[in-house]
Amino acid sequence: MSVSPFSRLPNYVDPEHVRVLLCRMQAALRDCIIEERNSKQNDELAAVAEQTPADTIYAIDKAVEQVVVDWLEANWPSRWPIHLVMEGLEERGTILLPSSSKTEAVMTLIIDPVDGTRGLMYDKRAAWCLSGVAAGPSDVARVEHIEVAAMTELPTSRQWRSDQISAVRGRGLVAESCDVRDPAHPVRPVRMMPSRAKDYRHSFASFSKFFPEGRVMTAQLEETLWERIVGLGSSPSPVIFDDQYISTGGQLYEIMCGHDRLVGDLRPYALRALGLETTLVCHPYDICTEMLAREAGCIVEHPLNGPVSAPMDTTTAVCWVAYPNEELARIVRPVLADLVHEIKLLAPRGMVRRPE
């Protein structure tokens, strides 16, 4: 087992303790959201509360911001001061918690309190609370350095089960579910089994195209990809199915549990090629739990190969693609890289750079 960067920090940081803290924080946030949802109408939760450089903040997002800060203030050990990076806090800047800390931050905690807001606020599909911790202050910590991560399902009103997935890098997943109807929240283990399939036929595989902007270009790339790989039209019925889960954490969960054989997000490339703003894309706080998928045995990488790489912030555009196993990755990688290069050639002069 490799030595954790946490072991080199002042006041040795126990990564397992950090994992437990993240899970408890997310459980508290989940309970808050369930209470908020039960006390308000969908239209109230869907009201626009704020527009930030990262995203549109809805009422359901706003309801949990202070819950996260208050929980950390009350429960995070003062001997391990952290920088908090979270959607919705952009105007307040980086926060040092607990505020009683006498030293500089030794770690950075990045959080997306509600990843998949749009689905949850209309009670359509579960969202996820995502968080990851990396050693060092926010100006040096990066997503690829995250050592501890957790994600907790935020269920719809028709859903009794909430899954929680967490890990310390290199130690494998801890996967559990709880019954949110029971105040005691009894938990049981969940087995995460990524697909072992060797081809893509008759499977779910999709790239993010949640919004009208850039959708046609992404769909054309997707159609070309599958034409070259499986030969579209060779079967009397479609062999590749599309599932648009408007949550990066949710997409990674679908890979981890064996539902999907490919998920990816190329929106930064598509939008830049069209000369459009790139705010409606994946950001570091959305992809901060990609380490969990890798702990499950999946492959998560940049579409032009190499790891997902980004600073711990709320605004950097991130491209990524995930596969459940290496054999499926080898089938798609070269074709996808060629198509991504073709998109880059379409971008207006001066707009193209490799997304972090």
What is the pLDDT tens value at each position of the chain, 356 positions in all? 566 788 778 777 899 999 999 999 999 999 999 987 777 665 655 565 566 555 566 566 677 888 999 999 999 999 999 999 997 776 666 789 998 887 789 999 999 999 998 899 888 999 999 999 999 999 999 999 999 999 999 999 999 999 999 999 999 999 999 999 998 888 999 999 999 999 999 999 999 999 999 999 999 999 999 999 998 776 677 789 999 999 999 999 999 999 999 999 999 999 999 988 877 899 999 999 999 999 999 999 999 979 999 999 999 999 999 999 999 999 999 999 999 999 887 765 433 334 44
State the pLDDT at residue 348: 54
In whole angstroms, give the CA distance from residue 138 to residue 135.
9
* Contact assessment for residue 275 and residue 101, using Cβ atoms and an 8 Å cutoff: no
State the pLDDT at residue 350: 36
In whole angstroms, give the CA distance from residue 97 to residue 156.
31
In whole angstroms, give the CA distance from residue 176 to residue 158.
19
Strand partners, 96: 83
Domains along the chain with CATH numbers: 5-189 (3.30.540.10), 203-346 (3.40.190.80)
State the pLDDT at residue 356: 41
In whole angstroms, give the CA distance from residue 149 to residue 292.
7
In whole angstroms, give the CA distance from residue 10 to residue 14.
11
State the pLDDT at residue 283: 95
In this structure, how many other beta carbons lie within 10 angstroms of the beta carbon of residue 204? 18
* Contact assessment for residue 337 and residue 354, using Cβ atoms and an 8 Å cutoff: no
Q: Is the pTM of this model over 0.85?
A: yes
**Residue 70 CB partners (closer than 8 Å, separation 6+):** none
Dihedrals phi, psi of 52, to nearest 5 degrees? -115, 170
- Among residues 177, 137, 136, which one has the least CA distance to residue 153? 177
Tell me which DSSP letter residue 228 carries: H
Where does 82-124 show beta strands of DSSP type E?
A: 82-86, 95-97, 107-115
